[in-house]
Chain A
């Protein structure tokens, strides 16, 4: 039940009336192996959730998609809706949604939703169904005595577990979690992150989309930083959050903005995705920008660490301690 996801040069455009185009995702490439967690971090509106929707085939009809997203050879971007609905969503890729309380159907109990999903995805039926649904809840540590409750009767943490339980029913080898910790308090964030991590350690691939850097640090093996629709840095989580730290000026600024660190915001605001500056989109906010930045820097480096910047911070040993 393992699967390898390979995203190559994925781009998503939304043409608007009046000839403008929103460049939501531009030239995004990454690989995700079984048993690995990649955290996609960046400001709201940088294209993270559009990327997730593209992988699930859930983009609105006016989206123009380019590139490829191969899941064990199947291109998710060109696969038909029937294929996605019957073979992919829930079975090979599962979504753990943002704000689970609104993802669950409010007028039906958790048990009813769990049984429906189990019946649909595993074919279990009849007298076995009840037990199978309880076992599915058990796997996400959703307490069996809460199964007969409605979503509004659940706390944020339990609603999160119910949504996770539903996502796990189909034994999908690839999980996508879209802001799974937004609005939860710190203890719940830690617990949710640890629970997701268990599924990674069990051999699943996990793409977690988040703006919560603390949650990303707790869960991820690798970190991809997105800015204005592009991945600007893709590197190991240990070197990103620890020493020697991120190499891209934007990624540095994002980390330094944390209250644990210098608590200084990055000056300015992210660009509009329908009016991106020519060249590096971060240059107008960057204190290292020069004339070179008029050309878009390519994401260059190895799997161990890649950065898209003409003036990236160096990790050469002689300057690491400087």
Chain B
């Protein structure tokens, strides 16, 4: 087990060991879905966006993270999804320590978390059909063969019927594309789903439909949820508990 990274440091973070031994020692797949401790992250080392943030999402729990725009909540979501490397602090997914981020994130950890972003147009490859889009994570993990068996039921559960799956992003509405992005985030059956402002671009009815689809899926699979947003009424209605972003930072 690598040492947890601690304290603000200007040294580059230790690189994981290259080669076949890069895969992590499989820790126990129990405990909280997400546990972040003292995470400092940003895009400019002189001015970190996050400074020592800590957050726990219990197994199967739904947590709403509230904050105004620009407060760093999306950065936190990106760190939790292993898409952004923190400068300090620890991230555990399903009890296992993350020591690689972005392309260095070990597959076992990466596949335990699914993400839905705010803007489906920026998050979807315009060349793929919705079916290929949803199946992309299966392809990337060498499980392409599972796609025909999984896709129809999953697509139906997010409200995408028949011929929509054969279309490409420019042929569907924002709401339909976001449904496909949700299905893509769920196709590997993650332990944790992160929805970063998933419904900010959508109208009231589509918002309610997507939230209902997420909740239906969670009831069935026990997936934990981190929903990031600024709409207090929505997140309080949706989640088991909400936290204000400021409460994650040390006093």
Chain A residues within 8 Å of B, Cβ to Cβ: 42-45, 155-156, 182-188, 211, 213, 253-255, 257-260, 263-266, 269-270
Contact = CB atoms under 8 A, between A and B. Distances in A.
* Most chain A CB inside 10 Å of its own CB: which residue of B68, B69, B208: B208
A187 B201 contact: no
A253 B203 contact: no
A260 B236 CA distance: 10
A320 B236 CA distance: 31
Contact of B69 (A185, A211, A253, A266): A185
B250 interface: no
A152 to B, nearest CB: 13
Which 8 interchain pairs have the tightest Cβ spacing? A265-B209, A185-B230, A265-B208, A211-B203, A257-B204, A45-B173, A257-B208, A257-B205
Interface string B171-186: 0011110000000000
Contacts of B207: 257, 259, 265
B211 interface: yes
A186 B232 contact: yes
10 contacts: A44-B174, A155-B69, A188-B69, A211-B203, A254-B204, A257-B207, A263-B208, A266-B209, A269-B175, A270-B173
Given A44-B206, A269-B159, A270-B173, 15 more contacts: A43-B175, A44-B174, A155-B70, A182-B200, A253-B205, A254-B205, A255-B204, A257-B204, A257-B205, A259-B231, A263-B237, A265-B205, A265-B208, A265-B209, A266-B205
Contacts of B233: 259-260
A188 B231 CA distance: 12
A185 B197 CA distance: 10
A259 B238 contact: yes
A181 to B, nearest CB: 10
Contacts of A260: 233
A184 B209 contact: no
Given A155-B69, A263-B208, A269-B176, A254 B201 contact: no
B202 A44 contact: yes
Contact of B203 (A185, A254, A263): A254
Interface string B207-246: 1110110000000000000000011111011100000000
Contacts of B118: 183
A264 B237 CA distance: 12
Nearest to B174: A44
A263 B234 CA distance: 9
B159 to A, nearest CB: 7
A253 B205 CA distance: 7
A60 to B, nearest CB: 14
Given A265-B212, A269-B159, A259 B237 contact: yes
* Most chain B CB inside 10 Å of its own CB: which residue of A182, A183, A213: A183
A52 B33 CA distance: 46
A156 B197 CA distance: 15
* Most chain A CB inside 10 Å of its own CB: which residue of B68, B176, B200: B68
Contacts of A183: 69, 118, 200-201
A263 B176 CA distance: 19
A45 B204 CA distance: 14
A102 to B, nearest CB: 12
Contacts of A265: 205-209, 212
Contacts of B201: 44, 182-183
Contacts of B211: 263
A259 B234 contact: yes
Contacts of A263: 208, 211, 237
Contacts of B230: 185-186
B237 A42 contact: no
Contacts of A44: 173-175, 201-203, 206
A156 B174 CA distance: 21
Contacts of B209: 265-266
A85 B70 CA distance: 37
A239 B201 CA distance: 26
Contacts of A264: 208, 212
